[in-house]
Amino acid sequence: MRSITKEFPGVKALSDVSITVRAGEIHAICGENGAGKSTLMKVLSGVYPFGTYTGDIWYQGEIVEFKDIRASERAGIAIIHQELALIPELSITENIFLGNEIEHGGRIDWRAAKLRAMDLLARVGLDEDPDTQIKHLGVGKQQLVEIAKALVKDVKLLILDEPTAALNEDDSQHLLDLIRGLKAKGIASIMISHKLNEIEQIADSITIIRDGQTIETLDVAAGGVDEDRIIRGMVGRSLESRYPDRTPKIGEVFFRVEDWTIQHPQVPERLVVKGSSLEVRRGEIVGIAGLMGAGRTELAMSIFGRSYGTYLSGRIIKDGEEIVLKDVESAIEHGLAYVSEDRKQLGLNLLDTIKRSIVSAKLRKIARRGVIDNSREHGIAEDYRKRLRIKTPSVEAGVSKLSGGNQQKVVLAKWMFTDPDLLILDEPTRGIDVGAKYEIYTIIQNLAAQGKGVILISSELPELLGIADRIYTVFEGQITDDIPASQATPENLMRSMTSAKKKANA
Ligand SMILES: Nc1ncnc2c1ncn2[C@@H]1O[C@H](COP(=O)(O)OP(=O)(O)OP(=O)(O)O)[C@@H](O)[C@H]1O
Ligand SMILES: [Mg+2]
């Protein structure tokens, strides 16, 4: 791609960006949130068609002018977007072959499609019935279906925009192996990721983009490329430490969940949370570690106004009194906040503007006699824009126009605005660049320093070890261990995350 420039109203997303990908290599693109990575890949894959950008795309020796995604797909370029794009109501097979159906005499051959799908699922390591509807799969599994869907096309260049953001360590490694396997078959990949350790492992070259401009391309084989080197390129300086220093001031237990049991919403005989108890002290950051599907999100959501599953039994005690949180409204009323791991489906209304999104969980705070005070709304949104460094020309812009990481910051701002006593964060740094992660950790620590309680669900063990005071492990819906951060290691966490060793914390 030579001298690519792409503008949106009021934003120059890319200016004069160039990138060269060699046949069969794995080429990474790194850069801060809003740097222009996804936009560049949308230009390449025809999402932004020829004519809407300037500059040239050279592919296999000639200039290509893709007029849509189908045109780039025909040329062997497949893109897996940052935000998953499967149809929830359709099955795995139907999604894989959507727009690419196997035909026989003018009819779709579903039998052949299903067989092919099973083959593809095995290749990506997803153990699911191909007839399963997408909506019953977690984000991690959906990601694997996306890859199966790309493989069904005769792909020569695979573009992966943060493919491992929603995956745990094991699944991420599996996916990286898959990409390496494709490379061995001559398929080149372009991969965008904020997980720099993965980039370091897998990339042959790395192009760094900052503020819509190419900064440099690093040749990994030449040596000397490590995470710190990449960060220096991304932010223009070194980052001394990944986790801000903090001396915790931990007070009394103020929030307790006792013997919490939740049934699966569709399958009554399945208990997704089983007799789990936990407590949070004032000023404490409590981590929750568990594998994908262990029930961490289900636990959090069911506490947060029973927004998941069917409540069977259990009590919630806050400030010494039992409270009953029958819906989200009452949870907010009682000072709880929940930042969802799924920002697109649950975290944001994508039709709203940034400022509307930020105030949406507590409109009463900006109302005067039941009418929203527009200038306060604007002022508050501006304040969060500055504090969290949300990259946008204006808070009046739609949230759908923000880059992924910046959308995440809006979700955080929304819940900070409710001024909660207990903030539950579910994968809050997913898709967030290293610099902004540090800012988010600082925000979490500041909330704790104000005497609030924080529950942090994270698939990244280093993150839990870096900022939690105490970590619960969850395995198959049960809390299996309760480990003070000073004693936690990746090994003992992993052990408790993968076995029902101990009974629920007594
Ligand atoms: N459809 C759009 N309309 C207006 N502005 C847009 C649109 N899409 C992207 N932008 C802006 O272009 C810039 C680059 O966005 P892009 O999504 O490419 O960032 P990114 O590098 O992928 O970031 P992230 O790591 O957060 O995903 C951002 O400032 C973003 O707000
Ligand atoms: Mg992006």
pLDDT in tens, 300-333: 999 999 999 999 999 999 999 999 999 999 999 9
Residue identifier of the C-alpha nearest atom 24 of ligand 1:
33
What burial letters (b/e) apply to 211-241, b meaning 16+ CB within 10 Å? bbbbbebbebeeeebeeebbbebbbeeeeee
Ligand 1 center to residue 111 CA distance, Å? Answer: 41
Report pLDDT for 285. Answer: 98
What is the spatial distance between Cα 250 and Cα 449, in angstroms, rounded to a whole number? 9
> Of ligand 1's atoms, which has the minimum distance to the CA of residue 405?
26
**Residues bordering ligand 2, an ion, CB closer than 5 Å:** 38, 82, 403-404
**Inter-CA distances, 397 with 33, 40, 163, 411, 416, Å:** 17, 21, 27, 15, 20
Where do we find the tokens 């897996």? 80
Ligand 1 center to residue 375 CA distance, Å? Answer: 27
Alpha helices by DSSP H, listed for 265-343, are 296-303, 328-333
What is the spatial distance between Cα 120 and Cα 127, in angstroms, rounded to a whole number? 11
Report pLDDT for 144. Answer: 85
365 lines ligand 1 (CB under 6 A): no
**Of 6, 39, 395, which is best to mutate to test ligand 1, by the most ligand atoms within 8 angstroms of its C-beta?**
39
Per DSSP, the residues of 475-506 read ETTEEEEEEEGGG--HHHHHHHHS---S-S--
276 lines ligand 1 (CB under 6 A): no
Beta strands across the sheet bearing 62-64:
11-17, 2-8, 54-59, 62-64
**Inter-CA distances, 278 with 44, 146, 288, 334, 464, Å:** 48, 36, 10, 18, 17
Answer for the pair 460, 426: CB distance below 8 angstroms, yes or no: no
**Inter-CA distances, 220 with 11, 176, 189, 226, 310, Å:** 32, 16, 15, 9, 51
Residue identifier of the C-alpha nearest atom 31 of ligand 1:
402
Ligand 1 center to residue 436 CA distance, Å? Answer: 15
38 lines ligand 1 (CB under 6 A): yes
What is the spatial distance between Cα 468 and Cα 148, in angstroms, rounded to a whole number? 36
Question: What would the pLDDT profile of 122-131 be if each residue is shown by its tens digit?
Answer: 988 888 999 9
13 lines ligand 1 (CB under 6 A): yes
What is the spatial distance between Cα 218 and Cα 29, in angstroms, rounded to a whole number? 10
Report pLDDT for 23. Answer: 92
275 Cβ contact list (under 8 Å, min separation 6): 259, 260, 261, 478, 504
Ligand 1 center to residue 19 CA distance, Å? Answer: 18
Q: Which ligand is nearest to the CA of 211?
A: 1
116 lines ligand 1 (CB under 6 A): no
Q: Which domains does the chain have, with CATH numbers?
A: 2-235 (3.40.50.300), 241-335+421-428+453-506 (3.40.50.300), 342-419 (no CATH)
What is the spatial distance between Cα 27 and Cα 207, in angstroms, rounded to a whole number? 7
Report pLDDT for 501. Answer: 59
| Sites in the chain below the pLDDT cut of 70 | 501-506
Return the closest-CA partner of residue 481 out of 462, 494, 468.
494
437 lines ligand 1 (CB under 6 A): no
111 Cβ contact list (under 8 Å, min separation 6): none
